[in-house]
Amino acid sequence: MAPAYSSCGCIFVMTLFMFILASSRADAAVTSTAVLITVDQSGNGDYKKIQDAIDSVPSNNNELVYISVKPGVYEEKIVVPADKSFITISGLKANNVIITWNDSGNIFESPTFSVLASDFVGRYLTIQNTFGPGARAVALRVSGDRTSFIGCRILSYQDTLLDDTGRHYYKNCYIEGAVDFIFGNAASLFERCHVHTLSEGDAAITAQRRESPSENTGFTFLGCKITGVRTAVLGRPWGAYSRVIFAFSYMSNVILPQGWDDWGDLSKQSTVFYREYKCYGPGANARKRVEWSGKLTDNEAGIFLTKNMIGGRSWIRSTPTRFKKASTAISNNSTRHA
């Protein structure tokens, strides 16, 4: 197979710029007024804990709620319930708003941060599970639809990001782990993210769980950077029809020449959809890739190179520019819990 990357850096940069520019125009330009809630461990906000701020939002909420989190290390196990949509939780810098917990075991019970609601946005947060090697230890579970994470750091070792169900958008995020650390059956676009593997051998970065050709799910990594400490493969199939695409992405020599693994099931080689498109770097050389992976043609690549693949034109929203005080109900909750 011919190498799947361009040898001309200038062509790559120009092409990537054009795709990103076209993609960014698709962002939903929502500038509605949001209810502002502040979280500050010093006591100078509405709440000292992030979960208390989430709990204050009424069930079946239909207003934009912006929870601004001041710098600090928040030792909390956080859940955004399914009946509390339209919430944004934001720090100013991911390095100074750290949400941390230490749990392991069940992938649905161990997460430090679980998003069950739709229309959620996380911005400039560090979300980590500090359990380390030896067991499943999820940092972030995303099970709501139309969910975005911008400029976040997502850290664990095994099963870091449970990208469970729904349509998701990750932009400028740093995601770190060792074993199957981006996994699930969502339809997700990872744009300009840094993916760092802690694998010491041949562990997989992704374990996508698409189980039927009729499911419109899969992971696309667009303009990303792949680094690591030793060696790893790009993915292995949790589901028989697992679908993962890497496009315009830099791959360091951490990526093993074969690129992909069939998880010991030869039958999945004929059903998975593992593709690369104009990636570059020493780990992107496709000459020794497994024969059941491949390269996208220009025509095939089109749908994966914009936010259209997740319907993002209609739901990815920009940061609110106007804010108002919380309603009486939320203010009363603040008085009781602060």
Q: What is the full DSSP assignment across 120-183?
A: -EEES-EEEE---TTS---SEEE-SSSEEEES-EEE-SBS-EEE-SSEEEEES-EEEESBS-EE
Both tokens of residue 37?
Answer: 């809630």
How many Å apart are CA 205 and CA 203, to the nearest integer? 7
Residue for token pair 């969910």? 147
Give yes or no: 180 in active site. Answer: yes
The CA distances from residue 133 to 81, 105, 136, 141, 196, in Å, are: 29, 12, 8, 18, 16
How many Å apart are CA 138 and CA 216, to the nearest integer? 24
Both tokens of residue 273?
Answer: 């959809």
Tell me the CA end-to-end span of the chain in Å, nearest whole number. 62
Query: Judging by DSSP bridges, how do beta strands 153-155 and 174-177 pair with one another?
Result: parallel
- Looking at the DSSP bridge assignments, the partners of residue 34 are 323
Q: Which residue is catalytic, options 119, 180, 261, 262?
A: 180
How many Å apart are CA 193 and CA 182, to the nearest integer? 12
The CA distances from residue 154 to 75, 102, 183, 195, 282, in Å, are: 15, 14, 13, 10, 25
Query: Looking at the annotation, which residues are catalytic?
Result: 180
